[in-house]
Every structure is written in C-alpha cells, then in structure tokens.
Structure 1
Amino acid sequence: MKIEVWSDFVCPFCYIGKRRLEEALHAFPYRDHVVVQYKSYELNPQAKHDPTRSYFELLADKFQSSVEDAARTSAQIADQARELGLDYQFEKMQPTNTFHAHRLVKYAEKVGKGNELVERLFHAYFTDAKLISNQDTLLQLASDIGLQRDKVEEILHANKFGKRVREEEEQAYEIGIQGVPFYIFNEKYAVSGAQPPEVFEQVLNQVWELEKEEQNTIQLTSLNNDETSFCTDEGCEVQKKDW
C-alpha cells in the first residue's frame, strides 16, 4: 500500500496528522507492506525567508483578530499536539518560507532518508523554533541524519529539486487539494485533515480490503469522517469534536 501525504513543515496539523497516522500504522497488521511518501505543499509560497513578525502577529493579521485571540487558538492546537507527545513552542516559532526545505527533502528521498528529514524539519520548526529556511539550519539537520554536507551545500546553493517541488504542488492543484494534511491511499482513496488514529486505522483496513478486490478506478473516493483539522493558505481550523 502506498500513502502519499501532502503537507507543509509550518502546518501545525500536518505534524499532528503525521503522529496520528503513525499510531494507526503501528496497530495495522500489514504495516510492513505500507510505504509513506511525503509530497510538497507550501501554505504560503510568498512567505519571507527572514521573519520579522511573530507567529501570533501573523495569525492575528490573517484573521483580523487580536494577538491574544491568536495565542488562545494556538494554545488549543498545542493541547492536541501534547496528547501525542509533541511540544509546540508557538511563542518562539519563526514563520518562514519552506521552499528550500521541500527541495532538500526531495534530495533526501533520493538517498532513502526523505521521511527521516521530514520528521527532523517538523521537530526543528515546532519544538526547537529553528529558522528552517536558513541554509545553515538545513545543513545541520541534513548532517544530523547522515546526508553528505558537500552535496547538501551544492543542492541548496543551486535550485536543484526545485522543479520536483513545483511538480508536486501542481499535482496537488490538479487533484483539487485545498488544505493540508491530505492523504491519498494507492492513488485512489482520499482522506483530508488530521484524522484521529482510529479513523486512519479504519481507512487502512478498508483500503486493504478494497485493494484485495483489485478495483480498477482512478477516481478519488473520500473516506473522511464529518469533522477534522487542517490548514489552508487562509489559516488552520481547529476540530470541534473531542476525540
């Protein structure tokens, strides 16, 4: 089974969704037959590389609310993250452009370390409050997982793998993805939002059984429940239901 995940490293629900999917996969009896691939998606392609405003200030501007309201909304998301063992440091985060980070992940995939770098980038942004557009930061994260420093420097200084990132973003547009995280199972079945682990478990089992019947269709079938949490270029929606 192949699971393609469109996400962005500055999307709080993308990291939450990652952990929830991992919990579901841990309980899935056929997890050794599952491959997870992360696809590029930029929530804000025009974001500055060097942040001049805090996360709360940017969020308040986006929703025309107060900084205090933005902080309260973020605290709700942080509570959800904490339940999964994630430590979100919203007050220290450095909102930034993620294009170079996505480029580097495409290279890491080529050498079999893509998913490892994805995890490092999420943790660096949300917990360590690193500036993940900074080339020194990206070099360090890449070195931490064993990527060759000289090769990484070459990729970052040029625009290598930029075309690949744009192709995946165009694919998202063609599919109709308007928010992340977004999951496609075996290029047929779609799930959007940071679903709870039990929903992912249900989807995994359902897709496994459907694929056993070798259904030949390219139409995406939504396997969502009614409520979820996700991020778009307009902002993040906090799920209302208590899971």
Structure 2
Amino acid sequence: MPTPDPRPVIQVDIVSDVVCPWCIVGFRQLDLALEQENVLAQLRWHPFELNPTMGPDGQNLREHIMEKYSSTAEQSQQARDRLTALGADLSFTFNFNDDSRIVNTFAAHQLLDWAETQGRQHPLKLALFKAYFTDQRDVSKVEVLLDAAQTAGLDPDAARAALESGTHADPVRQKQQFWTSRGITGVPAMVFGGKYLLTGAQGTETYAQVLQRCLAEAA
C-alpha cells in the first residue's frame, strides 16, 4: 500500500479555454509555485469559451486577433514572440505560423466535462493544450479530440460515445453561466482555496504568495 503524500493540499479552480495561450502560461507558472512551496493542488478545470460564436471552419488566428483587439500585424507578431519566449522559459512549446487558426472549443469542453467523471480531466486538458499550441492541430475536430483523450489515458471509443451522446452539452453551458454570473469575463481565472481569485497569468511569485496565505490560514 503506497505511503500517503505528507504535503498539504490546496484546492485550485481554474476557469480556462484550451485555445487561450495565457491559460497554459498561467498553469505552468502555478505548477512552478506549487513545486517551490512544496504543496499539492487539487486542480479542477472549468469551461470558458473565448469565442462561443466561432463557426465550424474557425478563422485565421492573426486576422482574428487583429479584428478582436484592433491590433496591427506588428503587434500581433510581438505578442507571438513574447508568448513563445515565455513558453520556452516554462518548458512549453508554442508553434505559431501564418496558418494558425482559432477554432470553436465547445466540443473540447464537453469532452473535458466527461473526462472529469473518469478522473482524467487534468491530463486531457494538458494534452489539448499541446495538441493546439505545439502540434497546431484543430481541437474542434473529433479525431483530434479522441487522439488527445487516448494520450490522456482515456478510452477513445468511450470518449467518442460521450461526445456523440451530447449529454455533457447542458452541464458545460451551466458551468459557463455559473462563472460568468460571478464576474468572470476573461481567462485564466484561478480561485485558491475557494476564496482568493486571481485573473490572468500572474507569475510564479504571485501564485506562491497566495499559496503561502492559504497554508497560513489552514495552519
């Protein structure tokens, strides 16, 4: 029988979208903070769609960013360069190119909702981040989602059945509404210990400080 891990555990709820680069940056920063503070996290991922009305064909990512944020091509490239450098520092690879696309993520969130019932939500979330940002795959496509599910240790046939059933569509919508009704308008949004909210990728030191505060209050 394995020995229980003696490290303290803090619940961290992360509201996120799988096509949000700052969500994987923020998570990697959090992961470093957890290691630094010698703390375990009980992680729960919650759904948020950056572009809920995005069509099935998606849109060129650079065009989308320029339209949505009124940025120039130069500003878009600077943002990509910054993210690529940040990712490298955090051992995560961003592979942007001129053909990168933003896609609809509702099916991905349904699969994540199902994966939570299987105890494999976290590895699936990380597999989807890698599929989209590193491998430049379309995470709105069923076959891509099933490949990610298999990578995460899930049965791809069961994953397909979960998607085709549609039984996770309403729960995802309800969870999205829950968070938006509480003022969440952008991601990542992390709630520590059920009480401390941080929005955006805040950096390893900031996350470490919040973890320390949660530990102090639990002592």
TM-score normalised by structure 2 residue count: 0.90
* Match status 1:93 vs 2:100: yes
Aligned match of 2:64: 58
Corresponding residue number in structure 2 for 1:81: 87
Within 5 Å, give how 1:5-24 maps onto structure 2. 5-24=14-33
Alpha-carbon shift at residue 55 of structure 1 (Å) = 1.0
Q: CA deviation at 1:99?
A: 0.6
| Runs of 5+ unmatched residues, structure 1 | 213-243
Q: 1:204 aligns with which of 205, 211, 216?
A: 211
Count of residue correspondences: 209
| 1:52-91 alpha-carbon deviations (Å, 9 max, x no partner) | x421111112233433432222222222222112211121
Q: Distance in 2 between matches of 1:36 and 1:60?
A: 33
Work out the CA distance in 2 between the residues paired with 1:64 and 1:199.
30
Provide the alpha-carbon RMSD of the alignment.
Answer: 1.5
Runs in 1 of length 4+ with deviation above 3 angstroms?
none
Indicate the SS of the match to 1:146. Answer: coil
- Among 117, 125, 137, which residue is 1:110 paired with? 117
Kindly provide the amino acid, as one letter, of the partner of residue 86 in structure 1.
F
Q: Secondary structure of 2:53's match?
A: coil
TM-score for both structures, normalised by structure 1: 0.81
Considering fraction of residues, name the structure with more helix: 2
Task: Kindly report which structure 2 residues correspond to 1:121-200, keeping only aligned pairs within 5 A, or say none.
Answer: 121-200=128-207
Aligned partners of 1:45 and 1:140: how far apart in 2?
A: 23
Distance in 2 (CA, whole Å) between partners of 1:191 and 1:75 is 25
Q: Residue in 2 aligned with 1:35?
A: 42
**C-alpha distance 30-18 of structure 1, shift in aligned 2 (>3 A):** closer
* More moved, 202-211 vs 117-126: 202-211
What is the distance in 2 between the residues matched to 1:176 and 1:211?
27
Q: Deviations over 1:22-45 (max 9, x none)?
A: 0111122332xx301111111110
CA distance in 2, matches of 1:174, 1:66: 33
Distance 1:48 1:71 in 2: 24
Distance 1:24 1:65, change over 3 A: closer
Q: 2:151, 2:83 → 1: CA distance?
A: 28
Instruction: Say yes or no: does 1:44 pair with 2:51.
Output: yes
Q: Quick check: 2:62–2:100 contact (8 Å CA) kept in 1?
A: no
1:195-218 CA-to-partner distances (Å, cap 9, x unmatched) read: 111111110010121234xxxxxx
| AA matched with 2:26 | G
CA distance in 1, matches of 2:72, 2:198: 33
1:174-210 CA deviation, whole Å, 9 max, x = no partner?
A: 2111111001112211111111111111100101212
1:106 partner SS: helix
Identity in percent: 31
Distance 1:106 1:178 in 2: 20
Pick one of 18, 34, 43 that aligns with 1:25: 34
Q: How far 1:173 moved relative to its partner?
A: 1.3
Once structures 1 and 2 are overlaid, which stretch shifts more, 79-88 or 68-77? 68-77
Q: How far apart are residue 130 of structure 1 and its match?
A: 0.5
Residue equivalent to 1:220? none
